[in-house]
Amino acid sequence: MADLPNEPIRVILADDHAVVRKGIREFLEMGGGVIVVAEAADGLEAISLIRDQRPDVAVLDIQMPGQSGIEVTRAIRAERLPVGVLILTAFDDPPYIKAVLQAGANGYVLKNAEAHEIVEAVQAVNEGQSVLSHTVARKLMTQLSEPETSRPDVDVEPLTDRELEVLRLAAKGYTNKAIGAELSISDRTVQGHLAKIYAKLGASSRTEAVMRAVSFGWIPPAIGEAHQK
């Protein structure tokens, strides 16, 4: 991901509709802080371009020929490519949301969002934050709170006080570096805590971990929602 503030965020945009790609590209590049380095019309092309171009952020639709945005995300994470993933889609169904988060995406934003919200989501993902549209966050939190969800009824290993501190800061949008500075620990230690948190909660991303913690009552909903802004 981009480190220098004066460098534009390099984005690869994948959507099977050329008109949609054109519109998204225009408002992403309008402010000058983002540059779309390549476009893909299907999932296989997206993976190839991401491997070749190494963008800071990949903006992916869910339903694409070849491979879906979920499958592309899984491939990116399996290969440990240093790319932030933002899903930009028209679908707000909880199964899609959960599948995307489980695949390891950093953000999930709906296409009917305002242009500035999508740009801000790209910026947030580039900074290591997790982002959900407010509508998506509400749907996911509602589903997680319902007894018939797939949330396990068995006892979940509780988080330590330090792990809760780390997760609460992550929920507020802090990067690993910022969490380390706040708690006077190293980035590596923060990563270690997050790995243990994910394992205990059965989560594969910050957003999923935060939502599960909210559903268990470990984090107040206000903090979980603040993490999406």
Predicted confidence (pLDDT) at residue 128 exceeds the cutoff of 60: yes
- For residues 206 and 162, which has the higher predicted lDDT (pLDDT)? 162
Residue 128's identity, in one-letter code, is G
Domain boundaries, the chain: 9-142, 151-226
Average pLDDT, the chain: 83
Q: Is the dihedral of CA 105, 17, 8, 132 positive or negative?
A: negative
Domain 9-142 maps to which CATH number in 3.40.50.300, 3.40.50.2300, 3.20.20.70, 3.40.50.12280?
3.40.50.2300
Predicted confidence (pLDDT) at residue 225 exceeds the cutoff of 60: no
What six digits make up the tokens of 79? 């290969």
Identify the weakest region by mean pLDDT among 66-70, 98-102, 145-149, 213-217: 145-149
pTM comes to 0.64
Predicted confidence (pLDDT) at residue 82 exceeds the cutoff of 60: yes
CA dist 40 and 16 (Å) reads 7
Enumerate the β-bridge partners of residue 109: 88
The angle formed by the CA atoms of residues 28, 31 and 37, to the nearest 5 degrees, is 45
Q: Which residues contact 2 (CB under 8 A, 6 or more apart)?
A: 8, 9, 10, 56, 126
Q: Which fold has domain 151-226?
A: Arc Repressor Mutant, subunit A (1.10.10)
CB 125 within 8 A of CB 57: yes
Q: Can you give the pLDDT at residue 149?
A: 42
Q: How far is CA 35 from CA 5, 18, 67, 192, in A?
A: 14, 17, 24, 33
Q: Can you give the pLDDT at residue 145?
A: 58
